[in-house]
Amino acid sequence: MFLRRSLTTEPTHPLALSAPPPPAEEQMQIGLLRGHLPVAELNRRRQNNLCLYCGIYRHVARLCPEKSSSRRGFILKPGQIEMDPEKINAIASWPQPTSKKEVQRFTGFSNFYRKFIRSFSKLIKPLTDLTKQGDKFQWTEQTQDAFQELQRRFTTAPILTQPDTNKPFYLEVDASETATGAVLSQRSSTDDHLHPIANYSKRLTPAENNYDVGDKELLAIKRGLEEW
């Protein structure tokens, strides 16, 4: 069962990579995608990962404003970032692992592009569970489904867009029985649709697995805010 929440952030100042940004106040509104919650306005004064993330994008845009460029496994284009097609083909054609070490190679390779894949931690859990020490390697229907679904997700992953600090940011989060996830997006001025900037997910600890649904949702929001 998934319960989703969304959050909107209105940036109040331009962000730069070369120097720490000045203190800023951000107003955030938290609401359910279906229905509404009481609005919670939070004034914060801090430099977070979102500041750095936006700054890196602008720095890349200055380096290659009118052409695509390959940088460390990513294809950078004006306003966009994509996975390297060669890396995608490698994942899509990866043979079925036959040992724990081969599973670790696949999960490690996949983890490099996790920001492109929604609910990555939840999807990859059956494979990472397979690598636990002391457990016998046993490839099951569940691990096969997870392996094939990850391959499919990588070949159909969306292109990430460059953040615009003059527009609101939307943070959509979800919580399941095994992990929390978040998607940072902005609305496009061309088609009025939300386009992803980055994905984030993290597995629940054994203690967090005991949380009720509401607490898991709050944890998802907390993790999303901490990430960006």
Among 94, 129, 125, which Cα is nearest to 109's?
94
Count of domains for the chain = 2
Contacts of 143 (CB under 8 A, 6+ apart): 126, 127, 130
Q: pTM for the complete prediction?
A: 0.61
Mean pLDDT, the chain, rounded, equals: 75
Question: What tokens appear for 196 in the block?
Answer: 């992803």
64 and 172 share a domain?
yes
**Whether residue 103 is found in the same domain as residue 202:** no
38 and 105, same structural domain? no
Answer whether residue 214 shows pLDDT above 60.
yes
- The answer to whether residue 219 scores a pLDDT higher than 90 is yes
CATH (domain of 57): 3.10.20.370
Residue-number span of the structural domain to which 142 is assigned: 85-155
> Which CA distances in Å does 141 have to 14, 74, 96?
50, 32, 12
| pLDDT in the model for residue 24 | 38
Closest CA to 196 of 156, 169, 226: 169
Contact 142, 126 (CB under 8 A): yes
pLDDT tops 80 at residue 68? no
Chain centre to alpha carbon of residue 110:
13
Q: Are residues 76 and 128 in the same domain?
A: no
Q: Which of 120, 155, 190 is the C-terminal boundary of a domain?
A: 155
Of the residues 107, 123, 155, the one at which a domain ends: 155
CB neighbourhood size of 119 (10 A): 20
CA gap 60, 58 in Å, rounded: 5
Q: Which of 136, 131, 132, 121 is nearest to 176 (CA)?
A: 121
| Mean pLDDT across 163-168 | 84
- What pLDDT score was predicted for residue 49? 54
More confident position, 72 or 228: 228
pLDDT at 159: 81
User: Tens digit of pLDDT for each residue in 10-60?
Assistant: 443 333 333 344 343 333 333 333 333 333 433 343 344 555 455 555 555
Which comes out higher in pLDDT, residue 160 or 49?
A: 160
* Averaged pLDDT, 141-170: 89
Residue where a domain terminates, one of 126, 155, 184? 155
- The answer to whether residue 63 scores a pLDDT higher than 80 is no
Which bin fits 73, alpha (ψ -120 to 50), beta or left (φ > 0)? left
Q: What is the pLDDT of residue 65?
A: 53
CA distance 51 to 16: 8
Compute the average pLDDT of residues 1-9: 46
